[in-house]
C-alpha cells in the first residue's frame, strides 16, 4: 500500500495566529511510503458510532473496505459512520471526516458530503485551490470556508485517483485547531491507498552532477529567481564531499550591488542546526548529557508547569515536543529591552498547547534556551549566557569547520561591508526594503536564529554534516555518534516528516532528507541533504518569506539528480500564482481611514505581554508604533469573520490584523485571534 499525500494548504493551521499574510506552501511531492501493517480483519473495525482509541487499539485507521488508511494521533479516537469515518480530537472539539467515493469530480464530492457529515454547518467558501496533481493523481482540490465571528474552522480537501475520490473534511473550534494543527496535518498527510504507483529513489544513488545537469539546474534556478522576483539569492550544491556548484543571482541591494557567494545573509532558524551541533560537541566533551534535566544545569530555567520543568531534559529543549508553543510576538515587540536571560525566564509564562511529548509544537524560546543551557554547561555565568554561547560557537563550530565569515555579531556582519539588504513582500506582491535594525529581533533568541553566513561557508557546513562531523580539511569537529543523534526523529510533524534535535527529518521519495529552513523578516534560507546519497544544497536569499522559492530550487536539484519526473516548477508556478492572487484580494479589500471613526483611539496602550504601543493619526494615516517597529494600518472587512479589522501595510510586518474596540468603557486593541491573541488597553 502506497501513501497518498493529501495536499492540504491549511490556511488557518499553518499561518500565524496573528493573521499575518503568508505565502501558500508548495504542495509536497509524493514521497514513497513504507509498507504499513496488514489491514486488520473487517470484524476488528468498530461498529457504526463506536469509538476506538487509536493509541491502544490500532496503529491507525483502516477503511473497512480496504480503500485507504490513515495514522491517528495519540489520544484521538475514531468513530465509524455509514460511508465515512471521523477522527475526533481529545477535547471532542475537532473532527476530521475521512471517506472514499466512486466517480465524479472532487468539488462535486465535497458538496455532496458536507451535508452528510454535518447538515447544520453554514458554508461560505473564501478560497478554492487546485494545486498541480503529482504522479498518480488526476485532481486535487482544497476549499477554505468563512469562520464567522464564532471562530469555527471548516476546510475541505480531496484528491482523485482514477474513478475514486478521497476526502478529508475538517471542522472545529479555532483554538483547539490551532493547538493541534500538527496532529491534523499528521492525519491528512498520511492517507494511504493500495493501488497508487509512485516514484521511489529508495536505495538509489544520484547521477553525477556533470556540466549538462548543472546547466539544467542553473537554468532552473534562474527561472525561479525570475518567477518569484526575489531581490537576490546565492546557492551552493555539495556532492560526495565536493562543492560542485556555487553561484549568486540578482542583487544584495536593489539598484546595482550584485549578489555574490560571499555576501552575508541571515540564515534564521537554520541556526538551530548549528546550536545542536554545539550541544553534540559539549556531550562529546562530557560537559553535557542529552538526558540530563535542564534545571540541574541551569536552575533558573522553568516552564509554566513546575513538575514538567523538573522533567525537561537537555534534548527536550530542542525537540519541539514539550507542548510549549510558538510565541514570536513576545520577542518582536520587546527585543530592544530583552536579554538571553529574559528569553529563558519568559518560558515560565507560556501556556502549554498540548501535553508533554504529545504533538509537534515549535518554540524559538525553547531552542534558544537549549543554546544558553549549553553555554552554562561550558562555564558561562547567568547574566553572561549570550556572550558565552557566541564564544562557544566561534571556537567549537565556526572556527574548526572553517566558516571564517560566519558570525553571530550584527555589528561584525554589517561592518564587513558584505551584508545584504533585507526585503519583504509588499502589497503589490513585489519586494520592498525593510529596516535592517528590525532584524535584531533575533538577538535575544541567538541560538534559534541569529547566525549570519554565506554560501561559501554554508557549503563547508553541509560537507561537515555529510561527513558526520568531519570538516572539509579532515579535522573532526564532533563525533558521528552525537551528531547523528541530532538527526533522530523525536516527534511527528506530519506523516512524512518528524522533528529531530534542531532538524526536520523527512521521507523524500524513500530517501531520508535532513533539512531546516529559516526566516527573519527579510531573509530566507534553506539547507537540505540526503545522507545516503551524499548530496546537499544551501539556498540563501534576501527576500523574506521566500520559502516556496527555496523549496522549488531544492526539489528541482533532487529531481535532476535522480532523473525524476519534474514537479518542482509546476508547484512553484502554482504557489506564486496563488500568492499574487491572494495579495491582490487583500489589497482590494483595504479601505481608506475615516479620521472621525478612529480619532478617539489615538493615544498610548499597554499589553501585559507585548508592552507599550502608541497610536497616532497624521495626514490621514493611522500609525501603530511599538518602538521596535511601526506601521500604518488600514481598515478592511475580515474575509473570515466579516468584522472590520485594521491591518498593517508597511514593512517589516505586513498583514497583521487587529481590532480597535471599546469594552467595559475602555478603548482596546485586540491583536491576533484564537489561542494566541493580545489585548492592549488604552492608558492615555
CA angle 513, 516, 520 (to 5 degrees): 160
Residue 609 has a pLDDT of 95
HSE value, Cβ hemisphere, 13 Å, CA-based, for 524? 22
Tell me if 526 sits within 8 A of 538, measured CB to CB.
yes
- The CATH number of the domain where 657 resides is what? 2.40.128
- Specify whether 172 is located in the same domain as 244: no
Of 24, 6, 9, 30, the residue nearest 158 (C-alpha): 6
Which is nearest to 447 in space by CA: 527, 344, 351, 542?
Answer: 344
Confidence at 83, pLDDT banded by 50, 70, 90? very high
Q: What is the pLDDT of residues 557-614, one digit of tens each?
A: 999 999 999 999 999 999 999 999 999 999 999 999 999 999 999 999 999 999 999 9
**Does residue 259 lie in a domain region?**
yes
| DSSP letter string, 126-172 | EEEE-PPP-TT-SEEEEEEE--TTTTEEEEEEEEEETTEEEEEEEEE
pLDDT of residue 104 exceeding 90, the answer is: no
Cα four-point dihedral sign 544, 231, 218, 209: negative
Question: Which of 167, 193, 219 lies at the terminal end of a domain, its last residue?
Answer: 193
- Is residue 381 in a domain? yes
- Of the segments 133-147, 192-206, 569-583, which one has the largest average pLDDT value? 569-583
461 within a domain of the structure (yes/no): yes
Residues 603 and 576 placed together within one structural domain of the fold: no
Which candidate, 676, 597, 575, places its Cα nearest to that of 22? 575
User: What are the grid coordinates assigned to 390, written together?
Assistant: 557566541
Confidence of residue 12 (pLDDT cuts 50, 70, 90): very low
Range of the domain at 61: 2-193
Mean pLDDT, rounded, for 646-664: 96
pLDDT for residue 135: 75
Per the domain annotation, does 346 fall within a domain?
Answer: yes
Contacts of 493 by beta carbon, 8 Å cutoff, 6+ apart: 182, 185, 186, 360, 499, 504
- Confidence (pLDDT) at 603: 98
The H-or-E segment that residue 436 falls in is none
| Per-residue pLDDT at 25 | 33
One DSSP character per residue, 26-47 reads PPP--PPPPPPPPPPPGGGSPP
pLDDT score at 684: 86
Do 25 and 120 share a domain, yes or no? yes
Task: Identify which of 14-18, 214-218, 334-338 has the greatest average pLDDT.
Answer: 214-218
Bridge partner residues of 659 (DSSP): 670
Predicted local confidence at residue 24, as pLDDT: 33
- Give the whole-number percent of the chain exceeding pLDDT 90: 86
**How far is the C-alpha of 451 from the C-alpha of 455, rounded, in Å?**
13
Q: Please identify, among 520, 551, 581, the residue that sits at the C-terminal boundary of a domain.
A: 581
The pLDDT tens digits of the residues spanning 241-293 come to: 999 999 999 999 999 899 999 999 999 999 999 999 999 999 999 999 999 99
Rounded to an integer, the average pLDDT of 415-428 is 97
Residue with cell 473532527: 95
What is the structure's pLDDT at 45? 32
Return d(Cα 479, Cα 467) in angstroms, integer. Answer: 10
Q: Is the pLDDT of residue 11 over 60?
A: no
Task: Write the DSSP assignment of 177-243 as a string of letters.
Answer: HHHTHHHHHHHHHT-EESS------TTPPPPP--HHHHHHHHHHHHHHHHHHT-SEEEEEEEETTEE
Q: What is the pLDDT of residue 196?
A: 61
Query: Does residue 117 have a pLDDT over 90?
Result: yes
670 secondary structure, DSSP code:
E
pLDDT of residue 273: 99
Domain identity same for 308 and 362:
yes
**Residue finishing a domain among 524, 555, 581:** 581
**Whether the predicted pLDDT of 69 surpasses 70:** yes
Q: Give every CB contact of residue 635 below 8 A, 6+ residues apart in sequence.
A: 590, 591, 592, 593, 594, 644, 645, 646
Cβ–Cβ under 8 Å, residues 647 and 656: yes
- Residue 419 is part of a domain; what is its CATH number? 3.40.710.10
- What's the half-sphere exposure (Cβ side, CA atoms, 13 Å) at 232? 29
50 pLDDT more than 80: no
Look at residue 114 and tell me if it is in a domain. yes
Q: Is residue 112 part of a domain?
A: yes
Q: What is the pLDDT of residue 59?
A: 60
DSSP 366: H
Considering the domain architecture, whether residues 635 and 567 belong to the same structural domain is answered as no
Within this chain, do residues 303 and 340 fall inside the same structural domain, yes or no? Answer: yes
Q: Is the peptide bond before 652 cis (omega within 30 degrees of 0)?
A: yes
Q: Per-residue b/e over 585-605, b at no fewer than 16 CB within 10 Å?
A: ebeeeeeebeeeebeebbeeb
Per-residue pLDDT, 23: 34
Our measurement of the distance from residue 299's CA atom to the centroid of its chain's CA atoms, rounded to an integer in Å, reads 31
Of 603 and 134, the structure prediction assigns the larger pLDDT to: 603
Whether 146 and 254 share a structural domain? no
Chain center to CA of 113: 31
Residue 668, classed as helix, strand or coil, is strand
Same domain membership, residue 397 and residue 280: yes
Tell me what pLDDT residue 193 has.
63
450 and 495 assigned to the same domain: yes
Cα–Cα distance measured from residue 4 to residue 29, given in angstroms and rounded to the nearest whole number: 10
Name the pLDDT band for 194 (thresholds 50, 70, 90): low
Task: Decide: helix, strand or coil at residue 395.
Answer: helix
> 405 with 418: CB under 8 angstroms?
yes
Q: Which residue has the cell 556532492?
A: 239
C-alpha grid cell, residue 231: 531581490
What three-state secondary structure class fits 587? helix
Residues 577, 644, single domain; the answer is: no
| Domain membership flag for residue 484 | yes
What separation in angstroms does the CA of 648 have from each of 13, 16, 158, 578, 652? 21, 14, 34, 21, 9
In this predicted structure, which of 44-48, 209-213, 376-380, 433-437 has the lowest mean pLDDT? Answer: 44-48
Q: Which residue has the higher pLDDT, 25 or 633?
A: 633
Please check whether residue 392 is in contact with residue 477, taking contact to mean a CB–CB distance below 8 angstroms: no
Task: Tell me, yes or no, whether 549 and 670 share the same domain.
Answer: no
Note whether 188 and 230 are same-domain residues: no
Do 145 and 123 touch, CB atoms closer than 8 A?
A: yes
Cβ-in-10-Å burial (0-12, 13-18, 19+) of 485 comes to middle
Q: 664: exposed, middle or buried (C-beta count within 10 Å: 0-12, 13-18, 19+)?
A: exposed
Confidence of residue 653 (pLDDT cuts 50, 70, 90): very high
Coil, helix or strand for 628?
Answer: coil
Q: Which residues contact 593 (CB under 8 A, 6 or more apart)?
A: 617, 620, 621, 622, 634, 635
Per-residue cell: 630: 511601526
Q: C-alpha 525: how far from its chain's center?
A: 12
Model-level pTM greater than 0.75? yes
Please check whether residue 232 is in contact with residue 251, taking contact to mean a CB–CB distance below 8 angstroms: yes
Confidence (pLDDT) at 9: 35
Retrieve residue 215's grid coordinates. Answer: 546547466
Residue 577 CB: number of other CB atoms within 10 A? 12
Based on its alpha-carbon atoms, the radius of gyration of the chain, rounded to whole angstroms, reads 25
Are 464 and 457 spatial neighbours (Cβ–Cβ below 8 Å)?
no
Give the Å distances, CA to CA, from 192 to 107, 431, 566.
21, 40, 23
Measure the CA dihedral 455/457/462/468, to 10°: 180
**Is residue 549 scored above 80 in pLDDT?**
yes
What is the torsional sign of CA 587, 589, 592, 598? negative
CA distances from 333 to 232, 384, 421, 609, 629 (A): 28, 23, 22, 9, 8
Chain-wide mean pLDDT for the chain?
A: 91
Rounded distance between C-alpha atoms, residue 624 and residue 673, angstroms: 18
Q: SS3 for 479?
A: coil
* DSSP helix/strand/coil, 569: helix
Alpha helices in 399-546 (DSSP H): 399-401, 410-415, 446-449, 455-466, 480-485
Is residue 205 a part of any domain in this protein?
A: no
| Total domains, the chain | 3
Amino acid at each position: 500500500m502506497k501513501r497518498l499525500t493529501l495536499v492540504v494548504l491549511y490556511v488557518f493551521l499553518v499561518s500565524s495566529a496573528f493573521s499575518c499574510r503568508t505565502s501558500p506552501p508548495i504542495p509536497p511531492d509524493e514521497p514513497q511510503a513504507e509498507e504499513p501493517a496488514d489491514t486488520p480483519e473487517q470484524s476488528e473495525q468498530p461498529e457504526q458510532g463506536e469509538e476506538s482509541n487509536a493509541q491502544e487499539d490500532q496503529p491507525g485507521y483502516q477503511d473497512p473496505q480496504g480503500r485507504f488508511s490513515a495514522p491517528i494521533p495519540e489520544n484521538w479516537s475514531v468513530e465509524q459512520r455509514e460511508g465515512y469515518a471521523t477522527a475526533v480530537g481529545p477535547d471532542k472539539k475537532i473532527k476530521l471526516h475521512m471517506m472514499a467515493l466512486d466517480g465524479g469530480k472532487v468539488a462535486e464530492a465535497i458538496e455532496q458530503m458536507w451535508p452528510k457529515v454535518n447538515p447544520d454547518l453554514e458554508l461560505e467558501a473564501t478560497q478554492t485551490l487546485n494545486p498541480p496533481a503529482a504522479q498518480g493523481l488526476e485532481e486535487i482540490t482544497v476549499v477554505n470556508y468563512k469562520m464567522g465571528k464564532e471562530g469555527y474552522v471548516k476546510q475541505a480537501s480531496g484528491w482523485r485517483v482514477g474513478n475514486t475520490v478521497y476526502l478529508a473534511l475538517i471542522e472545529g473550534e479555532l483554538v483547539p485547531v490551532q493547538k493541534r494543527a500538527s496532529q491534523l496535518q499528521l492525519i491528512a498527510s498520511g492517507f494511504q491507498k493500495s493501488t497508487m504507483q509512485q516514484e521511489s529513489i529508495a536505495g538509489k544513488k544520484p547521477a553525477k552532477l556533470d556540466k549538462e545537469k548543472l546547466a539544467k539546474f542553473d537554468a532552473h534556478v534562474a527561472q525561479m529567481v525570475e518567477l518569484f522576483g526575489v531581490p537576490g539569492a546565492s546557492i551552493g550544491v555539495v556532492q560526495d564531499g565536493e562543492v560542485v556548484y556555487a553561484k549568486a543571482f540578482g542583487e544584495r541591494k536593489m539598484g546595482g550591488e550584485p549578489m555574490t557567494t560571499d555576501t552575508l545573509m541571515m540564515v534564521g532558524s537554520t541556526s538551530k542546526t548549528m546550536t545542536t551541533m554545539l550541544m553534540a560537541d559539549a556531550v562529546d566533551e562530557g560537559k553535557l548529557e542529552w538526558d540530563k534535566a535542564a534545571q540541574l544545569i541551569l536552575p533558573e530555567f522553568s516552564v509554566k508547569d513546575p513538575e514538567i520543568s523538573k522533567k525537561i531534559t537537555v534534548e527536550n529543549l530542542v525537540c519541539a515536543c514539550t507542548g510549549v508553543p510558538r510565541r514570536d510576538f513576545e520577542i518582536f515587540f520587546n527585543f530592544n529591552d530583552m536579554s538571553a536571560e529574559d528569553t529563558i525566564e519568559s518560558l515560565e509564562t507560556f501556556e502549554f498547547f498540548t501535553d508533554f511529548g504529545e504533538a509537534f509544537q515549535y518554540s524559538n524560546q525553547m531552542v534558544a534556551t537549549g543554546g544558553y543551557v549549553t553555554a552554562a554547561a561550558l562555564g558561562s555565568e547567568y547574566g553572561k549566557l549570550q556572550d558565552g554561547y557566541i564564544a562557544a560557537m566561534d571556537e567549537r563550530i565556526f572556527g574548526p569547520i572553517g566558516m571564517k565569515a560566519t558570525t553571530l555579531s550584527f555589528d561584525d556582519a554589517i561592518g564587513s561591508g558584505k551584508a545584504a539588504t533585507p526585503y519583504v513582500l509588499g502589497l503589490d506582491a513585489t519586494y520592498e526594503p525593510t529596516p535592517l535594525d528590525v532584524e535584531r529581533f533575533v538577538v535575544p533568541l541567538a541560538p534559534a536564529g541569529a547566525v549570519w553566513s554565506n554560501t561559501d561557508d554554508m557549503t563547508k557546513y553541509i560537507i561537515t554534516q555529510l561527513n558526520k562531523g568531519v570538516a572539509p580539511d579532515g579535522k573532526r569537529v564532533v563525533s558521528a555518534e552525537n551528531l547523528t543523534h541530532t538527526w533522530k526523529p523525536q516527534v511527528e510533524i506530519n506523516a512524512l516528516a518528524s522533528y529531530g534535535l534542531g532538524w526536520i527529518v523527512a521521507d523524500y521519495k524513500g530517501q531520508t532528507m535532513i533539512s531546516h529552513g529559516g526566516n527573519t523578516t527579510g531573509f530566507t534560507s534553506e539547507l537540505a541533504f540526503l545522507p545516503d546519497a551524499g548530496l546537499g544544497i544551501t539556498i540563501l536569499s534576501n527576500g523574506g518569506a521566500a520559502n516556496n522559492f527555496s523549496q522549488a530550487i531544492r526539489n528541482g536539484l533532487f529531481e535532476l539528480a535522480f532523473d525524476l519526473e519534474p514537479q518542482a516548477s509546476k508547484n512553484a508556478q502554482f504557489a506564486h500564482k496563488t500568492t499574487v492572487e491572494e495579495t491582490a484580494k487583500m489589497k482590494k479589500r483595504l479601505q481608506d481611514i475615516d479620521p472621525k471613526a478612529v480619532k478617539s483611539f489615538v493615544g498610548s496602550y499597554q499589553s501585559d505581554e507585548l508592552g507599550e504601543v502608541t497610536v497616532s493619526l497624521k495626514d490621514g494615516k493611522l500609525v501603530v508604533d511599538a518602538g521596535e517597529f511601526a506601521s500604518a494600518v488600514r481598515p478592511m472587512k475580515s474575509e473570515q469573520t466579516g468584522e472590520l479589522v485594521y491591518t498593517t501595510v508597511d514593512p517589516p510586518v505586513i498583514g497583521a490584523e487587529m481590532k480597535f474596540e471599546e469594552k467595559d468603557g475602555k478603548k482596546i486593541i485586540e491583536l491576533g485571534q484564537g489561542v494566541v491573541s493580545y489585548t492592549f488597553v488604552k492608558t492615555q
